[in-house]
Amino acid sequence: MDKTIAVCPGSFDPVTCGHIDIIKRAAKMFGQVIVVVMTNTAKRPLFSGEKRADMLRRSLCDLPNVQVDCYDGLLADYMRKVQGTAIVKGLRAVSDFEYEFQMALTNKKLCPEAETVFLTADAQNMYLSSSIVKSVGSMGGDIRDFVPPPVYEEIQERLVNSRKEDIL
């Protein structure tokens, strides 16, 4: 049995079809995949950590070797905690590369046992990001093709309300 543990970290605010594609492909490559909702200090999240994890769980419940967790700390510490061997990240375009490369090198310094593995985004998800989903959804646009079905209804309402909160 393949005992390798891969970790897919991210802010997932909210999870998109692009994230799901990367996680599904990681689940085929590794024995176990842990998707971990983390804090990105450069971003102010719209959804709470628990809500983001809940949306991920509902979208990934058909994958037996995938579990979802939340962690408020360094990814390097989390990798040691779960004895993870690989950090799996998706790359959409060259514009992602510099930031991801910097994070990969920092994580390698802080946790040399873990390797970062990049999977290229599927061509049809190249343009997709959580920010695009929030932007389109908050203005009433159709986000059905951008997010997994189990979370569509729920976030649709929240996104439209977030727009109103911004205006008031």
Residue 9 contacts ligand PNS per CB under 6 A: yes
Q: Which is nearer to ligand PNS, 10 or 14 (CB)?
A: 10
CA distances for 168 relative to 29, 45, 136, 164, angstroms: 47, 19, 19, 6
Q: Is 11 a catalytic residue?
A: no
Return the residue of 29, 70, 74, 82 that touches ligand PNS, per CB under 6 A: 74
Question: Can 43 be counted among the known catalytic residues?
Answer: yes
- CA proximity to 54, closest of 102, 105, 13: 13
**8 Å CB contact between 56 and 150:** no
Nearer Cβ to ligand PNS, position 3 or 44? Answer: 44
| Closest CB to ligand PNS among residues 101, 160 | 101
**Residues comprising the chain, all counted:** 168
Strands (E) across 47-144 are located at 66-70, 86-91, 115-120
- Which residues, numbered 25-64, are part of the site for ligand PNS (CB under 6 A)? 38-40, 43
By CB under 6 A, tell whether 103 contacts ligand PNS. Answer: yes
Alpha-carbon span 48 to 95, nearest angstrom: 27
Name the segment binding ligand PNS (CB under 6 A); options: 20-28, 103-111, 116-124, 131-139: 103-111
Q: Any catalytic annotation for residue 3? A: no
- Residue 30: closest CA among 10, 2, 57: 2
82 binds ligand PNS (CB under 6 A): no
Which residues are part of the catalytic machinery? Answer: 19, 43, 92, 130
